Amino acid sequence: MKRHTKNLTPLRGFALSVVRTRLRPSVLKRGGVRCLSLLMTVLLLITVAPVAAAAGDNVLVSLYHGEAHDGAIQGNDVIFTVANSYAGTEIDFSKDLSPSFSSDFKDVVSYTPGIAIIGDESSYAELRITYRRKEDSATDAKRVITYRLYVRRADPIAATFFGNANVSVPTGTTNPIPALPIRKLYNQNDGQPLTHIAIHGSNPIFGELRLGNSSYTFGTAIPLSALDAEQLTFTAGETGVVSFDVTAYAGGDTDTPVGSVATLTISSYTAPYTTGPIQLDMTKERIFTFTLEDFAKQCELYNIPIDYVVFTPQKTSTGTWLFKGNAMRTGTAATIAASDIPFLEFNATVSGTANFTWLVQTAGGKTAVTAGSITVHSVALELENYQSSDSLGKGGVHTVSSAHLKYRIVTETQNPILPTYLKITQIPPTKDGYLYLAEALPKAEDNSYPAINAETALRVGAIIPFSYVGQLRIASNSTSKSDSITFGWTLTADRVIKSADWAAPALYTVPFSEGQNLLYHTDTGVPITFRVDDFRAALFAATGTYLSYVTFTLPAKEQGALYYNYNLLKKTGTSVTSSAKYYYGRSPSLASVTFVPAADYYGSCTFTYTAFSEDGVRVSGNITVVVNRNAAGTVVLVADKNAPLDLDAEMFRSAFKTATGKELESIQFTSTSTSARLYTGYIAPGQYGSVVTTGTRLYLYASPLLSRSTFVPNSEFTGSVTYHYYARSDKNDGFYGKLVVFVVESEGGNVSYSVNTNGYVRLDAADFSSAFTAATGSLLSYVTFTPPAKTVGTLYESFNPATGKGTAVKSSTKYMTNDSPSISDLYFVPAANLSGTFDVTFTATSQTGTSYTGKLKFLVGRGEEFGRTYIRLSANAQPGAPMAMNPDAFRAAFLRVTGQPLAGVRFNPPSQYEGRLCTGYVSPSSPGTLVSETTRYLLSGTPALSSVAFVPVSNFGSGTVFISFDAYSADGTAYAGHLTIYVGSTAPFNDIGNYPWAADPIAFLADLGVVLGSGNGKFNPEKSITRADFVLMVARAFQLSGGTATFPDVYPSDYYYAAVIAAKALGIVEGQDTAGDSTPTPPSQGRTPWSSSKKLLTLWASRCRHGRAPSPSLVTPIKSPTTPWRPPRPSSPPA
């Protein structure tokens, strides 16, 4: 049957109730229009129907009913469940219903539902709720939602039977087994009532279970009424305990037991007695809490629980007896229930003994009154000295940890003991530091210790709670001279400071950090700059802090000196002082501190450094610089970035003489470098000459000359390059030496240009800008120049190459990068007939106004350059013997090359290790006057060319000397020339004796500079020639120049580069394949393709028409023996 409520009454809020009333006509008549108006208003309101609820409007949160309890809301259904044993068949929801609604809605009104039949899904009650959403206005129609209320009956719950029933029987008596403990084990639930039990087991030796007047037959059912009538008894003859299994039966059914098997435990007892006094121990300033076990373990209870204890405290001065927090009256017995024993306490305040008496009461009776005592001890602590495994930088702060304070509790105690207070017994010396608290310590509430301000030095006797130890700090003094810092301390476990017992003091020691000892190696005369990261790592490893600056003690003057911003070129710098601070990351920079060994010093130089953090933490350590002395000496040179440097033979000779006391004959390098190259016969970039390898021997007085060797650093490289070499004395003694070359850049950058003798070069602002930015990291604004000496050349602000005239720069003029006057409008014109390397200083200013000094380097006419006309001559000389200049040979060579008569010659004198070029030579004792490189020696007139002689040094041995010169025509035009002098030999090379048929052509080509040999006076006639060397010979013979395009496998750094691009431009070489690969290094087959031969002949004919043809022997076929002649090649071409 489906029931619904027709008339709904609001549970809360306001709603309209429609009351069915019969209105008599007389009422209508008396009310008239007023009554009718009211009725119409009511009807209008009733007809305003609420709108249906929207999906997801969960208005109802929970629903509770007094009998059906909580309902489970499932959508619009609410399911109630009543117990299976519920007696009714329906639930009336019109009363005892309590809904709760979501706060997301407003104006909620619920209407009383009706009755639902239990278990009938078709009969439910309806709960109607009207509401508005929060966003609805008060004039909007209310929404409505209806919930269906169902009631289900739960499944029946079976009865249970389990647990243990305890029954005590005094020894020598018969006592009934009560029904109540058995009934407590049974839970009927939805089952039948308990009616019977059965006991299983057997009688113990100390007693018997009886039913009525007979012994009980185990396993038979016993009506529960028999237990109520006390018919089930147990007779105890002796003490003991027995347990039986018990099964339960319900509803009069004795065949099927209900639930599990329970236990019936019967104890036979006698009166308890004590076995001895209670003796307890505790530490003072603790509270001892009694347990029931404290009493039970001193009694024989016969398994009968204690009911209560009678406790009588005695008067004592060691503390206070407490029960439930209140002081007990001494001498007065207190009966305390077993469950209240944990509220019995003793608060010990001082050492000593507190006495009491006690007895216990059980179901078997009372014990005798027995004595008891509590002995109160002081907590004895043993402390250990602490040595920190972490070192402390001087000026740093160490945090003390309670884990560092090692102690051992000597006294045996019931409970774990922790220290309560720490006292300072010794403070660090003021010179080492002080102790303080990181956070302020408030005053103790009982005034037992005073307040201590944060970061205030502690005094001896200062007391802090042990829990505050983590705030304890050791602040070290950065100027301390000690190895460690120490303070003394002690602990107590007592709570009252006034009566506290303190342990014997211990020490807390923290060692000061020692900086790492830094080791550097250098050589005699070689400066070394310290690595900043060494100091950073030393400070961080010792203290965990970051480097701010470093100070130094100064080394002994006889061992070396420290400089700031040491200039390797000028060999000057600012002397480091012991008070100066050199910083990491700012000026004055630690990265600019250099150690310079004293002159000729070698050995170990040790001095100290101190590294500081930003917070003043510091460590000190030693710096040891080991200055090595090489057996053959150490040569230190300084080269400019991107510029070649000729080796100074005198420095090698002097270093060798100082180290060995012997005279140097030659050196041979035993190592190479990837940062630079060494060459002999270096001319200019692209014309490198021969690479010095580990097989090349360079001579002081023979060819190849050490003084004609050149160091060429890699492009943009700065830093140091080290070479090892083997030096041989004039007595053939061997020693090892070292060459160290520092490649440096001026602070404002280095700019280099190559320029021909009597030529000119235009400057480029981009070169200055890039060099300046690379050196300073800033942008260049302008440059001012220090004009060079007139003997070097002239810097022109405007220059006309056609007229050779211009306006010289002024030192006060600012030449701009992006404005006028521009750096790119400047020209350098070297002085007439000048050659060599010359420096011009400039001052570069950044866009922020900071100025730096830079260096402008000009490489002027270092030697042969393709495209120039050269006069070539050769001669022979003997060591120590003068060789006079032959004016006729100069006249003929000049005429052959230029077609003009010779007027005069200006010489570039050779090295002093090769010989003397002089005038008026008579004898070694009357050597005449050295020629001047600015003087022209005339063919007719004075000073006469015929008065010039070359005198090789007497110990020269054999080799080749090259003397460059400028030959002048009558109109003043200069032509460069080379005079090759074969000293101690009649041939340019000493290994062509077995090739007499080729000796003259080889010598002729050597005189012309077409072949140069492979060094050491060697021609190596048995070796094959590469295509690159062949093209180089052709370029030299025909004086080829020009061209820009090259091959993919020919690079600007190749020594044959200029020759190949010139030959390619003239079509002499075309490469080997369509990819343009010339493969320059495979051997030539001794022939030239016809097209190339034809072009060479055409070129020769052209040169003949212009009066510049080489000797006919160059093109005259040479009759060859069986073994064909193969042109030479350099033994070690540059990489």
Instruction: Give the start-to-end residue ranges of the domains of the chain.
Output: 25-153, 160-269, 273-377, 384-511, 518-628, 634-744, 750-860, 869-986, 1000-1135
Backbone angles phi, psi at 820, to 5 degrees: -105, 140
Which pLDDT score is estimated for 319?
92
Residue ranges of E strands in 718-825: 719-729, 734-744, 750-755, 761-762, 780-785, 793-800, 805-808, 815-816
pLDDT at 465 over 90: yes
pLDDT digit string, tens, across residues 378-433: 888 899 999 998 888 888 889 999 999 999 887 766 567 789 999 999 999 999 99
If we measure between CA atoms, which residue out of 1097, 1118, 1100 comes closest to residue 1109? 1100
Integer angstrom CA distances of residue 577 from 132, 555, 574, 695: 89, 11, 9, 47
Per the model's pLDDT, the better-predicted residue between 982 and 262 turns out to be 262
Segment 204-231 mean pLDDT: 94
The CATH superfamily of 160-269 is Immunoglobulins (2.60.40.10)
Containing 105, the helix (H) or strand (E) segment is: strand 105-111
The burial class, CB within 10 Å (0-12 / 13-18 / 19+), for 790 is exposed
What is the rounded distance in angstroms from the CA atom of residue 313 to the CA atom of residue 347? 13
pLDDT category of residue 172 using cuts at 50, 70 and 90: confident
Give domain 869-986's CATH number out of 3.10.20, 2.60.40, 3.40.50, 1.10.10.
2.60.40
What is the rounded distance in angstroms from the CA atom of residue 901 to the CA atom of residue 940? 11
The DSSP bridge partners found for residue 761 are: 828
pLDDT at 148 over 60: yes
What is the rounded distance in angstroms from the CA atom of residue 988 to the CA atom of residue 556? 55
Which pLDDT score is estimated for 12?
37
Which pLDDT score is estimated for 33?
43
Confidence (pTM) = 0.46
Segment 719-734 mean pLDDT: 90
What is the rounded distance in angstroms from the CA atom of residue 1051 to the CA atom of residue 1074? 19
Which pLDDT score is estimated for 1119?
27
Window from 281-285, 906-910, 962-966, 1096-1100 with minimum mean pLDDT: 1096-1100
pLDDT at 17 over 60: no
What percent of the chain shows pLDDT beyond 70? 86
Equal CATH topology for 750-860 and 869-986: yes
Which pLDDT score is estimated for 1081?
55
Window from 262-271, 325-334, 981-990, 1056-1065 with minimum mean pLDDT: 981-990
Which pLDDT score is estimated for 910?
85
Which pLDDT score is estimated for 282?
85
The rounded Cα 77 to chain-centroid distance in angstroms is: 65
Segment 583-608 mean pLDDT: 92
pLDDT at 18 over 70: no
Segment 721-750 mean pLDDT: 89
What is the rounded distance in angstroms from the CA atom of residue 1070 to the CA atom of residue 1039? 19
What is the rounded distance in angstroms from the CA atom of residue 193 to the CA atom of residue 189? 9
Residue with tokens 């010659």: 905
Give domain 634-744's CATH number out of 2.60.120, 2.60.20, 2.40.160, 2.60.40.
2.60.40
Which pLDDT score is estimated for 1074?
46
Segment 595-616 mean pLDDT: 91
pLDDT digit string, tens, across residues 83-125: 988 989 999 999 999 999 999 899 999 888 899 999 998 999 9
Segment 366-371 mean pLDDT: 94
Which pLDDT score is estimated for 30?
44
Q: 560-567 and 593-597 as β-strands: parallel, antiparallel, unpaired?
A: antiparallel
pLDDT digit string, tens, across residues 774-822: 888 889 999 999 999 988 899 999 888 767 788 999 999 999 998 899 9
Ranked by mean pLDDT, the top range of 675-689, 785-799, 833-847, 957-971 is: 785-799
pLDDT digit string, tens, across residues 530-568: 999 999 998 888 888 899 999 999 999 999 999 999 988
pLDDT at 29 over 50: no
Mean of all residue pLDDT scores within the chain: 83
378, 501 Cβ separation under 8 angstroms: yes
pLDDT digit string, tens, across residues 231-257: 999 999 888 889 999 999 999 999 999
Segment 889-900 mean pLDDT: 87
pLDDT at 226 over 80: yes
pLDDT category of residue 1125 using cuts at 50, 70 and 90: very low
Residues 6+ apart with CB under 8 A from 463: 421, 422, 423, 424, 449, 497
What is the rounded distance in angstroms from the CA atom of residue 204 to the CA atom of residue 169? 14
318, 351 Cβ separation under 8 angstroms: yes
The rounded Cα 581 to chain-centroid distance in angstroms is: 27
Give domain 750-860's CATH number out of 2.160.20, 1.10.30, 2.30.30, 2.60.40.
2.60.40
Cis bond before residue 1121 (omega within 30° of 0): no
273-377: which CATH topology? Immunoglobulin-like (2.60.40)
pLDDT category of residue 1102 using cuts at 50, 70 and 90: low
Which pLDDT score is estimated for 686?
61
**What dotted CATH number matches 518-628?**
2.60.40
In single-letter form, the type of residue at position 350 comes to V
